[in-house]
Amino acid sequence: MELSKQIKKYRKEANLSQEELADKVFVSRQTISNWENDKNYPDIKSLVLMSEVFHVSLDNLIKGDLEKMKKEIDAQEYVKFQKDSTIFSTLFIALLILPVPLVMLWKWIGMAMYLGLFGIEMYFTVKVEKYKKKYDIQTYKEIVAFTEGKNLNEIEKAREEAKRPYQKLLLGAGSALLVVIIALIMNVVMKLFV
């Protein structure tokens, strides 16, 4: 059963109107109506209060909706991951393109702005890495599957796990090379202005 039906069923069994139930769980009658019409979900505090009012366990009250709630939470996580990944990618591209123009236009202020962008980029890097660790996704294929809301089967997962050490090595070497290139460009720009 869906939670909306459960709330309505237990409310009627307790001979309570929507208004009376709303008073007992400290919400509006409209909120109860929204819950019963499956327009939104009650928060955990409201669920606990309703389970006490109906004299049923929380498990019995929400039984059947646990999977739906999990999927909704996962969907929200996907959206957050995609948003943070987009910001991360945009900032990464900006960090590659902006050092020379910023320093040429505003000298030390430009350098400070660049370092500020770098700090923001590091913040989003940490957030994206936390998602990757939480959902055990490391390779490109795993990340794409995650953002599409899919899971890899066991064979694909094993193949992707075998690729991880090589990808980490290449990522490390590529990052080091990128740092060297940026440092050389910054060195040339600084010599032009000094």
| pLDDT per position as a tens digit, 40-80 | 888 888 888 998 999 888 777 776 555 555 666 567 777 78
Name the residue type at position 109.
I
**Rounded (5°) CA angle 22-28-30:** 105
pLDDT confidence tier of residue 20, bands split at 50, 70 and 90: very high
Closest of 6, 11, 10 to residue 41, by C-alpha: 6
| pLDDT per position as a tens digit, 146-187 | 666 666 565 566 566 666 677 767 777 888 888 888 878 877
Cβ(61)–Cβ(47) below 8 Å: yes
> Residue ranges per domain, the chain?
3-64, 70-193
d(CA 99, CA 108): 11
At residue 164, what are phi and psi to the nearest 5 degrees? -55, -50
For the chain, give the percent of residues with pLDDT over 90.
18
Which element (helix H / strand E) includes 150? none
- CATH class assigned to 3-64: mainly alpha
State yes or no: pLDDT of 101 exceeds 60: yes
Any idea how long the chain is?
A: 194
3-state secondary structure of 38: coil
d(CA 179, CA 94): 14
Q: Cβ-count burial of 98 within 10 angstroms (0-12 exposed, 13-18 middle, 19+ buried)?
A: middle
Read off the pTM. 0.47
- Provide the pLDDT for residue 1: 47
